[in-house]
Chains A and B, each alone.
Chain A
Amino acid sequence: MHYPEQLKYVKTHEWIRFLDETTAQIGITDYAQDTLGDLVFVNLPEEGDEVTAGEAFGDVESVKAASDVISPVSGRVKSVNIELADNPGAINEDAYGAWFITVDNITDTDELFDAEAYAALVEEEKSRT
């Protein structure tokens, strides 16, 4: 399980890669993909959709379960990684390469954690289950 230093994280297990101050890529963390297991379906928003920090913008499904993907930021969907729809397994292979959406015009963000703080949060969550 690894959490790259250059990314930010939220407690609902998404990562954020800021491309500039108001533009960022979003995906789910290595811990999230490992917990879900083999992913087989991704439901993505469309370009131009508005997303809101703390609210679901899509969902992922593994063989066993479905899970919402929560937006860590508020803004507008600039682009969508439609390749994920054809190959959800790419998320299991490389959680940080498999971005879901790029959001621009970011006006608000959820509480962000750096890699170290997020790793601690994951450890705490694991010890509870």
Chain B
Amino acid sequence: MSELKTPLYEAHMALGGKIVPFAGYLMPVQYPAGVIAEHMAVREKAGLFDVSHMGEILFKGPDATANLQTLLTNDFSSMPLNKARYSVMCNEEGGCVDDLIVYKYSDEAYFIVVNAANKDKDFAWMQSHCFGKATCTDISDTVGLLALQGPAARTILSKVTDAAMLPTSYFTANFHGEIEGKTCMISRTGYTGESGYELYLAAEDTVAIWNLLLEAGKEEGLIPCGLGARDTLRLEAAMPLYGHEMDDTISPLEAGLDFAVKLQKAEFIGKKGILAKGKHRTRVGLKVTGKGIIREHMDLYADNILVGHTTSGTFAPYLNHPLGMALVDVAYSEPGTGMEADVRGRRVACQVVSLPFYKTSNK
């Protein structure tokens, strides 16, 4: 199968984006400014990302809430309208099928955003477990998604829409936003560790809004950003990424996502598996204290004992040093614990540090 294109493919090419295949889509990994400049723009000014490859699924019906309670690890029983909530979807064994965000539109309608690479698997899983008076629909192909992130995001968005329409608290959304006469859902969320918004648009409106925002944000220093910066930003903010910090075999508790797992809920898929797995290993942050850069899938040794492996790693542009996340034996998870990463045959010294590495002061 050939790679898919988001509605913005031609726009990325025109901007000089370096295109790579990702999760079945042709996506820009960076623009001419480069990953570091794009990363810094988001930390200090603003950056605009095309994340239209993400999947969107609608869950509707009188039993929609009951379905989510069974399918997902978080609690949706007393969720206010217009709120967003992060959750994990587990398999029976307590491993992660995916992590996702659920928006509540009404008592009988939820809008769920899932990882691009998992959307077909997620949708099939949801459909096969759907019960009672509820339906789930994959609407991914009709939705364009832009992420406007950075301290100047609010100022820029206020130029193209009524500022009163912008959601003010983190993890809330306005389903009835409007930009230049185009209806959109404006969400105060993101995957950068910086304040910002995500705009869910009709696929056909995506190009116009992308161009409008880039133009409106020029004065504030807004630049387009690719998947490269998206990864370094999320990593610096210690946000987990599916396929790295979690997968089908890693439980959400091992991944350090306890806040999104409500074990007091009566029953949900994976609850028994999570409890059976226990927590013998856990996600930690690593700061490189030696010379080198750690990447994913590197073995970690403490006192020459294999204690775990890295799940992600890079050079963090804003903090200006190499860092990574890892899954290690809980006995070696205390901040301050020293260990060595096997970097292509060379041992590089690291230290466990508390997460997140970076926390914004502009909330």
Binding site for B on A (CB under 8 A): 37-38, 40-41, 43, 59, 61-64, 66, 92
Contact = CB atoms under 8 A, between A and B. Distances in A.
Interface stretch (B28-36, B152-160, B167-175): B28-36
Contacts of A61: 292-293, 315
A63 B292 contact: no
A63 B295 contact: no
B256 interface: no
Looking at A37, A43, A63, A64, which has the most chain B CB atoms within 10 Å of its CB? Answer: A63
A44 B295 CA distance: 19
Contact of A63 (B291, B317, B344): B317
User: Is chain B's interface secondary structure helix, strand, loop, or mixed overall?
Assistant: mixed
B192 interface: no
9 contacts: A37-B34, A37-B228, A38-B37, A40-B322, A41-B291, A41-B315, A63-B228, A63-B314, A92-B34
Interface of B: 29-30, 34-37, 228, 231-232, 291-293, 295, 314-315, 317, 322, 344
Contact of A40 (B29, B231, B293, B295): B293
Contact of A38 (B36, B292, B344): B36
A129 to B, nearest CB: 10
A43 to B, nearest CB: 7
Contacts of A40: 36, 293, 315, 322
A66 B313 CA distance: 12
B293 A38 contact: no
B35 A37 contact: yes
Contacts of A59: 344
